């Protein structure tokens, strides 16, 4: 059994195939397995908590894991160590989630493109058709992650408390979420996965896109992301498309296209969840 995994900070998608590329189990979903926010013991517990993974763990021969927080050797080793304990018979390969986004969005194996992730977190890389090039190392949700779910969650909370929202939007926001200060601070500063907590608020934007305030909020986040991330590859974007993966990107397609027109780059493909393209890539290379 071969496991192919696309893991963000909020959730992880697992697909099992046999040596012929035939899917064996229904797609499995666990919580996100980000080594930057969870310790190794917690990663193992989350994996073993899933009954399908636990029941079949000794039959797994290969695990191809692509995850948020795996862009450094340290992050990769934390995840690899957890996977080795859970799947003792398997060959383990751990890569960063940006590579999953590449395989999930490019139109063919050797296509050159700038590939962005806008999900719970955010990132951007250049794929030259063979190798991945990254100019900015992520420092996580507090310092970076522009235009991500946690970025927008933070902006919405700030605007709520600074009274920067239109009154009708503020009333709707306060009705949908518990905005008591102690509750918000408890979830951000005392609970695990504060980035995922913040990202939960981003759903509000997509339920209220008839608001000019919301549309401009989305566009402004994308402009910041373009300046800080995409324009690291300002020569490359003159000749290659910019692909996007992740739920935030998928539901912000109109705003991304509008900002692309403003800032002079070509939008390529959108993929909400890269796992399907990732599986196709590995099946071709079995």
Query: Considering Cα of 163, then 190, then 31, then 285, what sign does the dihedral take?
Result: positive
Residues 166 and 103: their CA atoms lie apart, in Å, by: 41
Contact 100, 127 (CB under 8 A): no
- Is the per-residue pLDDT at 280 higher than 80? yes
- Enumerate residues 6+ apart whose C-beta is below 8 A from 2: 16, 17, 18, 19, 60, 61, 62, 63, 64, 282, 286
What does the pLDDT read at residue 133? 94
pLDDT digit string, tens, across residues 100-158: 999 989 988 889 999 999 999 999 999 999 999 999 988 888 999 999 999 999 999 99
pLDDT digit string, tens, across residues 45-104: 999 999 999 999 999 999 999 998 898 899 999 999 999 999 999 999 999 988 999 998
- Is the per-residue pLDDT at 261 higher than 80? yes
- Is the per-residue pLDDT at 184 higher than 90? yes
Domains and CATH numbers, the chain: 2-101+275-284 (3.30.420.40)
Contact 37, 71 (CB under 8 A): no
pTM: 0.86
What does the pLDDT read at residue 265? 97
What does the pLDDT read at residue 257? 98
- Is the per-residue pLDDT at 180 higher than 80? yes
The stretch 221-241 carries a mean pLDDT of: 97
What does the pLDDT read at residue 217? 98
DSSP the chain: -EEEEEE-SSEEEEEEE-TTS-B-SPPEEEE---TTTS-HHHHHHHHHTSHHHHHHGGG--EEEEEETT-SSHHHHHHHHHHHHHHSTTSEEEEEEHHHHHHHHH-SSTT--EEEEEESSSEEEEEE-SS-EE-SS----TTT--TTSHHHHHHHHHHHHHTT-S-HHHHHHHHHHS---HHHHHHHHHTSS-HHHHHHHTTHHHHH-TTSHHHHHHHHHHHHHHHHHTGGGGTTGGGTS-EEEESHHHHHTHHHHHHHHHHHT--EEEEES-THHHHHHHHHHT-
What does the pLDDT read at residue 20? 87
What does the pLDDT read at residue 8? 86
Pairwise pLDDT comparison (232 vs 141), residue with the higher score: 232
């Amino acid at each position: 059994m071969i496991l192919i995994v696309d893991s963000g900070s909020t959730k992880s998608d697992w697909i099992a195939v046999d040596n012929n590329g035939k899917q064996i189990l229904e797609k499995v979903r666990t919580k996100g397995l980000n080594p930057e926010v969870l310790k190794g013991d917690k990663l193992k517990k989350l994996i073993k908590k899933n009954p399908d993974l636990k029941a079949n763990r000794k039959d797994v021969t290969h695990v191809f894991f692509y995850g948020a927080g795996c862009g450094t050797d340290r992050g990769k080793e934390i995840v690899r160590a957890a996977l080795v304990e859970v799947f003792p018979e398997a060959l383990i390969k751990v890569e960063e989630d940006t590579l999953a986004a590449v395989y999930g969005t490019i139109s063919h194996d050797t296509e050159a493109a700038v590939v962005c992730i806008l999900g719970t977190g955010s990132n951007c890389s250049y794929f030259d058709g063979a190798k991945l090039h990254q100019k900015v190392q992520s420092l996580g949700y507090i310092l970076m992650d522009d235009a991500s779910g946690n970025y927008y969650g933070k902006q919405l909370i700030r605007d709520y408390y600074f009274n920067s929202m239109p009154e009708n939007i503020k009333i709707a926001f306060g009705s949908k979420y518990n905005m008591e200060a102690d509750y918000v601070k408890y979830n951000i500063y005392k609970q695990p996965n504060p980035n995922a907590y913040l990202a939960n608020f981003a759903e509000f934007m997509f339920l209220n896109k008839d608001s000019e305030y919301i549309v401009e909020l989305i566009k402004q986040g994308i402009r910041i992301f373009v300046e800080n991330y995409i324009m690291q590859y300002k020569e490359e974007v003159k000749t290659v498309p910019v692909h996007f993966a992740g739920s935030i990107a998928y539901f912000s397609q109109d705003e991304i296209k509008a900002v692309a027109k403003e800032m002079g780059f070509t939008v390529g493909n959108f993929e909400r969840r890269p796992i399907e393209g990732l599986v196709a890539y590995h099946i071709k290379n079995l």
